[in-house]
Amino acid sequence: MAHEMYSGFFTEFYDILHAGLTDVDSYIEFARKFGPDILELGSGTGRILIPLARAGFSVTGVDYSDDMIARCRAKLELEHESVKAKAAIVKQDVTQLKLDRKFDLIIAPCNMINHFLEPAPLIKMFRGVKRHLKPTGVFILDNSIPDIPYMVDINRVERIAAFEHPLTGTKIIDRFTSTYDFVNQLEHNVIHLEEYDEEHNLLREASYSITMAYYFPRELRLMLEMAGLEVFHEQGSLDEDIPIGADSTQMVLFAR
């Protein structure tokens, strides 16, 4: 049986899968520039939220997945009291954002918006962002730019990757198949995870499926504008302030 993706074994695998990303450093830089009071939409396991709190910023994370929130809370428990005091996690659907305060900086990192399969809920989330920004506040959205030639190549092809569990040393095999609906800009993903010990005994396995959308810069600019947000800066990379060009693989939009 395929499970909803942000549950069980996958929530543990999430941090292993994303361990190589350098986006945390970029968000700490953005927090220095636009913080200190930050709201993260879809804060997940706290991969970005916890380092922001460690760096001294006050961060509220919103997520709707019980298992991702539980994992984030468990990780926060291991932190110093001063870090715990800087972090708050709220269970909420970001399309119904209702917090009793406003923020200097709101972030939607790591392709978070690809969870919205239709424009309407995404625009709803953007309107919520607008309502929760202080008058001088900034919203930062970072997303991959769809690489159509690559997507055509990998369409329906099973890809296999191996990881070592950083705590237990076990081997995790990730079998991943994406099927694209190029007309409706949707990606159907099926993921099968297996975990083996040193003697190659199967310890755990689980299957997940999730459908996500993919977005291009022009439609995001339009949707932000429809929600009353003005894009005042754009970068084609999280690490570098370069324009979004024909070869960009990332888009980072800054709005207020």
Ligand X SMILES: C[S@@+](CC[C@H](N)C(=O)[O-])C[C@H]1O[C@@H](n2cnc3c(N)ncnc32)[C@H](O)[C@@H]1O
Is residue 71 near ligand X by the rule CB under 6 A? no
8 A C-beta contact, residue 207 and residue 111: no
Is residue 248 near ligand X by the rule CB under 6 A? no
String of DSSP letters for 5-65: SSSHHHHHHHHHHTTT--HHHHHHHHHHHH-SEEEEES-TTSTTHHHHHHTT-EEEEEE--
For residues 188 and 196, which CB has a smaller minimum distance to ligand X in the complex? 188
146 DSSP 8-state letter: P
Give the one residue of 38, 89, 94, 213 binding ligand X; rule: CB under 6 A: 94
CA-based nearest residue to 157, from 114, 115, 189, 183? 189
Stretch that binds ligand X, among 37-45, 80-88, 148-156, 246-254 (CB under 6 A): 37-45
Cβ at position 198, least distance to ligand X in Å: 29
For residues 48 and 255, which CB has a smaller minimum distance to ligand X in the complex? 48
8 A C-beta contact, residue 205 and residue 196: no
Which residue in this structure is represented by tokens 């689980």? Answer: 206
Cβ at position 185, least distance to ligand X in Å: 17
Please give the Cα distance from 4 to 7 (Å, whole number).
Answer: 6
Stretch that binds ligand X, among 58-66, 76-84, 130-138, 213-221 (CB under 6 A): 58-66
**Which residue's Cβ has the minimum distance to ligand X?**
42
8 A C-beta contact, residue 25 and residue 64: no
For residues 11 and 248, which CB has a smaller minimum distance to ligand X in the complex? 11
In terms of DSSP H, where are the helices of 133-249?
Answer: 148-154, 217-226
Cβ at position 128, least distance to ligand X in Å: 10
Please give the Cα distance from 236 to 130 (Å, whole number).
Answer: 23
Q: x/- string (CB under 6 A) for ligand X, residues 113-142?
A: --x---------------------------
The first and second tokens of residue 99, run together, are 């917090």
Question: What angle is formed at CA 121 by the lines to CA 64 and CA 97, rounded to 5 degrees?
Answer: 50
Q: Name beta bridge partners: 194.
A: 173, 205
Give the one residue of 38, 68, 106, 140 binding ligand X; rule: CB under 6 A: 68
Helix (H, G, I), strand (E, B) or coil at 142: strand
Is residue 47 near ligand X by the rule CB under 6 A? yes
Cβ at position 203, least distance to ligand X in Å: 25
Cβ at position 56, least distance to ligand X in Å: 19
Question: Please, which residues have CB within 8 angstroms of residue 168's CB and are 6 or more apart in sequence?
Answer: none
Is residue 238 near ligand X by the rule CB under 6 A? no
Is residue 48 near ligand X by the rule CB under 6 A? yes
Give the one residue of 56, 84, 99, 111 binding ligand X; rule: CB under 6 A: 111
Residue type at position 100: D
Give the one residue of 12, 64, 73, 188 binding ligand X; rule: CB under 6 A: 64
Contacting residues toward ligand X, per CB under 6 A: 6, 18, 42-44, 47-48, 62-65, 68, 93-95, 109-112, 115
